[in-house]
Structure 1
Amino acid sequence: MNRAFTRKKDKSWMHTPEALAKHYISYSAKFLGHTEVDQPKGTEVVRDAVRKLKFQRHIKKSEGQKIPKVELQISIYGVKILDPKTKNVQYNCQLHRMSFCADDKTDKRIFTFICKDSESNKHLCYVFDSEKCAEEITLTIGQAFDLAYKKFLESGGKDVETRKQIGSLQKRIQELETENSELKRQLQGLEEQLMVTRVSPAGSVSMKSPSTDIFDMVPFSPVSPLTSAPSSNGTPPLPPPTRPAGTRKDLFGAEPFDPFICGAADFPPDIQSKLDEMQRQRWRGSKWD
C-alpha cells in the first residue's frame, strides 16, 4: 500500500465490507485524463503527472472544451470509469494492477492512482477532479485494497488467478458491448438510408409504372397497327392486301414502304381517290389468283 492508505489504518473504514465485496461504491468526478509515468508509485511521480494534465486541460479549456464528467465504480475488483449518461465503460482498472493512490495535499480537489496497462504494460497515472469527495474516493479505494488483501490471504493466493480471470471476462464483455453498440449504430444508419430511398419528399412511396422506361417515357415500338380511315369518296375502307410470304422487314422491324397501305390523310383527295381505285383492282386480282 502507500501512505494514502496507511495514514488512517487505525480508524474505521467509511463503507461496509459487503458494499465493496458484493457490490460497488459509486462517485462522480471530472476526468482530466491519464498519462504514462516512469515509476509505479511516488508522490513526485503523480505530482508531475498532475501538472502535465492540468496544463493540457488549461489549453483545451481555452479552446472551449469542457472537462468531461465520469462515474467511478469502486469495488474489491478494481475501479471502473464510465460515461455517466450511457454507462459505457471507458476504462477498467483492475485492483491487482494498481500500485499507488493518493489525493493531492496542495489541491484538495485532485486525486490520482497509478495502474499498469494490461496490453502495453505501461504505468499510467489517472487524474481526477472532485470538489467535495477527493479524499473520500481515495480512502474508498484504500478500503477496497484492504478487503482484497484479506481475501487474498484467506484464499491462500488462489484469489489472484480468479481476479485475473474475472478481469479478462470483464474486458471481453466491454469489447462485446462496444461492438454491439457500433453494430446498432450502423443498422440504424442503413434503415434511415432505406427510408430515404423508398419515401418521396412528399412522404409517399414512389413507384414507377412498369410500362415506362427509366426516363418515365413509353418504350418505343417500331411496329404499330395501322387504322384504316374512310376514303375521300365515302366508300368503306378496304382490308390491307395480303403480302407474299417471305417479305422481309427492315432493320427496325417495320414492313417496307407501300403507298397502298398509307393512311387517307397522307395524300391529297384526288391522288387518294386514284390510289383507292388501284387498291380495289389490286385486291380483286389478288383475291382470284
Structure 2
Amino acid sequence: MHTPEALSKHYIPYNAKFLGSTEVEQPKGTEIVRDAVRKLKFARHIKKSEGQKIPKVELQISIYGVKILDPKTKEVQHNCQLHRISFCADDKTDKRIFTFICKDSESNKHLCYVFDSEKCAEEITLTIGQAFDLAYRKFLESGGKDVETRKQIAGLQKRIQELETENIELKNKVQDLENQLRITEAGSVTPKSPSTDIFDMVPFSPISPQSSTPTRNGTQPPPRPIRPLLPPTTRTPELDLFGAEPFDPFSCGAGDFPPDIQSKLDEMQEGFKMGLTLEGTVFCLDPLDSRC
C-alpha cells in the first residue's frame, strides 16, 4: 500500500477516535479482541450518555511503531513498538472499528487498543501489517540473525567463568593439603646424629641445620610456622595453574553488544518470531517457520 521509504524514513498519519485500551489474557485471538471491543464500546456508551465525547487521536505508523498522539498538541500518549504488537484486525461487522494487541513495556501485560475510524479501518490495519513486515526485514539486515549466536556465546562465557572459579578453588584445596602434609611431616621427624659417607662427609640434606639441631635441654625446636593462605577473595585469579593468563576466546570486542542492548535485541527477536496475526495471516519472514 505504501512505499518502503514512506514507512522507514517517515510515517503514515491517520486520524481516528480512541475508544481506549483494556488488558486481555492472550496476545492473539478473535474472541479476545471481540470481548475487548464489546467492553470498551459499552464503557464509551455510558460516558457518551454522561456528555463525554470520544477523544480524537492521530496515529503515526512507521517501522518504529505505532504512535498515538493528541492531534492538536502532538503530545505522544502511547508508543507501541511493532515487535510488541501481536494481533491486528478490523471489525468486519462494523467497518469503522479496528484494534490491535500490544505487550506493555513496563508491566508486560497484553493490552488491546480499540479505535473508531470512519473510512480507514481496513487500510490502517493493512498499513500496520506492512510496517511490521518491513521492520522485521530491517531487524534481520541490521544484525538480528546474530542474536541467537550471541546468546550461545554468552552461555559459553558464563561456563568459562564457572570453570575458572572452580579451578581456583581446587588449587586452594591442593595448597591446603600440601601445607597440612608439611606440618605432619615436620612434627613426626626425630633428631638423628648425621652419619658420614665414605669420604667422612655429612650427606647433603635439604632440611635446614637449624631445624635438626637440638636445644640445650635436648628437645627438638618447634617447626617454623607456616604462613596461612590468603582467602580466595584476596588472591589474584589472573594467572592459571601454569602461571599464564586464562584463555578467553570470547573477549569483548567492537562487535559485541553491551548487556542492556543484548537484552533488547533478545526481546525484539522473540517479538518478531511470534509474528503479527493480521486477519488470519501471520507476518514473518523466517523460512524455517511453519506458519509462513
Q: CA deviation at 1:158?
A: 6.6
| 1:29 partnered with 2:16 | yes
Q: CA deviation at 1:154?
A: 1.9
Structure 2 residue identity aligned to 1:110: I
| 1:113 partnered with 2:107 | no
Q: Which whole-Å CA distance do the structure 2 matches of 1:164 and 1:78 have between them?
A: 15
Q: CA deviation at 1:149?
A: 1.4
| 1:91 partnered with 2:91 | no
Q: TM-score, normalised by structure 1?
A: 0.51
Partner SS for 2:51:
coil
Q: Which whole-Å CA distance do the structure 2 matches of 1:74 and 1:153 have between them?
A: 20
Which position in structure 1 is the counterpart of 2:37?
50
Q: Structure 1 residue aligned with 2:131, among 144, 147, 150?
A: 144
Distance 1:159 1:60, change over 3 A: farther
Q: Which whole-Å CA distance do the structure 2 matches of 1:151 and 1:130 have between them?
A: 29
Distance 1:156 1:131, change over 3 A: same
Which position in structure 2 is the counterpart of 1:20?
7
Q: Structure 2 residue aligned with 1:70, among 57, 77, 82?
A: 57
Which position in structure 2 is the counterpart of 1:194?
none
Q: How does 1:75-224 map to 2 (within 5 A)?
A: 75-157=62-144, 164=264
Which position in structure 2 is the counterpart of 1:277?
none
Q: Extract structure 1 runs of 4+ deviating beyond 6 A.
A: none
Q: Which whole-Å CA distance do the structure 2 matches of 1:164 and 1:83 have between them?
A: 28
Structure 1 residue identity aligned to 2:101: I
Counting aligned pairs with the same residue, the percent is 90
Q: 5+ unaligned residues in a row in structure 2: which ranges?
A: 148-260, 266-292
Q: CA deviation at 1:135?
A: 0.3
- Whether contact under 8 Å (1:34, 1:124) holds in the other structure is yes
Q: CA deviation at 1:163?
A: 11
- Relative CO higher for 1 or 2, CA cutoff 8 Å, sep ≥ 6? 2
- Whether contact under 8 Å (1:151, 1:159) holds in the other structure is no
Q: TM-score, normalised by structure 2?
A: 0.50
Partner SS for 2:73:
coil
Q: Which whole-Å CA distance do the structure 1 matches of 2:264 and 2:72 have between them?
A: 28
Q: Which whole-Å CA distance do the structure 2 matches of 1:138 and 1:47 have between them?
A: 16
Partner SS for 1:100:
strand
Which position in structure 2 is the counterpart of 1:38?
25
Q: CA deviation at 1:153?
A: 2.3
Q: Which whole-Å CA distance do the structure 2 matches of 1:67 and 1:163 have between them?
A: 38
Q: CA deviation at 1:152?
A: 2.1
Q: CA deviation at 1:106?
A: 0.9
Q: Which whole-Å CA distance do the structure 2 matches of 1:121 and 1:151 have between them?
A: 24
Q: CA deviation at 1:156?
A: 3.4
Q: CA deviation at 1:164?
A: 4.8
Deviations 1:114-150 (A, max 9, x none): 0001111100000000010000000000000110111
Distance 1:81 1:159, change over 3 A: farther
Q: Which whole-Å CA distance do the structure 2 matches of 1:78 and 1:35 have between them?
A: 19
Distance 1:143 1:163, change over 3 A: farther
Which position in structure 2 is the counterpart of 1:253?
none
Q: 5+ unaligned residues in a row in structure 1: which ranges?
A: 1-13, 166-289
Deviations 1:35-58 (A, max 9, x none): 000000111100000000000000
Q: Which whole-Å CA distance do the structure 2 matches of 1:131 and 1:100 have between them?
A: 21
- Whether contact under 8 Å (1:111, 1:138) holds in the other structure is yes
Structure 1 residue identity aligned to 2:112: C
Partner SS for 1:124:
strand
- Whether contact under 8 Å (1:79, 1:94) holds in the other structure is yes
Distance 1:85 1:163, change over 3 A: farther
